[in-house]
Amino acid sequence: MIIDIHTHTFPDAIAAKAVDKLKHNSHTEPVLDGTALSLSVSAKAAGVDLAVIQPVATSPQQVREINDGAVETNRHTSVTRLLSFGCMHPAFAEPEKELARLAEAGVKGIKLHPVYQLTDMDDPSYVRVLRAAADAGLLVLVHAGIDVGFLDRTYSDVDKIAQALDAVPDGRYLLAHMGGWRQWDEAEVLFAGRDNVWFDTSFSLGDMTPLGDGFYDTHSLERLSEERFLQMAETFGTDRLLFGTDSPWEDQAKEIARIRALPLDEAEKTAILGGNAARLLGVEA
């Protein structure tokens, strides 16, 4: 079973506009058009059994509508191969009730993105959300480290994430981008050995694909080298790594091939590509 734990889609009416804005913010080229249909087609072509959508609420007013959409998406997973997490915003008035509602509806987790939500991850409002998620039994995926579209924003720095996680030690956490995009050395120190923390591989291995607007003439395209990725895999444990692509920003088939080409044993690669996620999500591999 292959599970892509970290993907994004947008409503059809705004997908083109949203992807265009994000690609110019990040100066990177998308692979898909941002619609659910394009992700479903990609998943089937690449042999991905589940593509997990990670929605982000940029205002508290969006939360219920996005979560209603997640529940609806999950009614059709057997056909589309798409499984959606819910969302939460730190300014949402009653996270406890909303996250309990999601859990009752069978949603597996929520996505938090401090950079887009303009709130430091160690803010008490996020700690409240983490407490509510833990009480509801929901997995929490957090954007970790720098965001490629906002290189100067520090809301999701790994030290702030560590403080938030320490405040709610009974939660279950999935840290995107190998624990902290371009803060990998710090992430390795802060998060190694935590038995309630997992890491996704999205947007972390190999060089980025530039938009071609000249930005990367003076900025690095580099992410983790294979050697550094393997060092982190050893530190965290391959049983803690979950395959993710950050689609539409990476090609699912190519990223699967990248994992399969790593000098790990087959059992480890199988676990990263889907076995670990299946256990964490409670789905049949």
What value does the CA radius of gyration of the chain take, rounded to a whole number of Å? 17
Kind and range of the H or E element at 44? Answer: helix 36-46
Burial class of residue 263 (count of CB atoms within 10 Å of its CB; 0-12, 13-18, 19+): exposed
How many CB atoms within 10 Å of residue 261? 10
pTM of the model: 0.98
Query: Residue 284: its pLDDT value, please?
Result: 84
The shares of helix, strand and coil residues in the chain, as percent rounded to the nearest 5, are: 45, 15, 40
* Beta-carbon-side half-sphere exposure of residue 32 (alpha carbons within 13 Å): 26
Query: Residue 62: its pLDDT value, please?
Result: 98
CATH of domain 3-281: 3.20.20.140
- Residues in the chain where the model's pLDDT stays below 70: none
**Could you identify the residue written with the tokens 């409240």?**
128
Rounded to an integer, what distance in angstroms lies between the CA atom of residue 139 and that of residue 137?
7
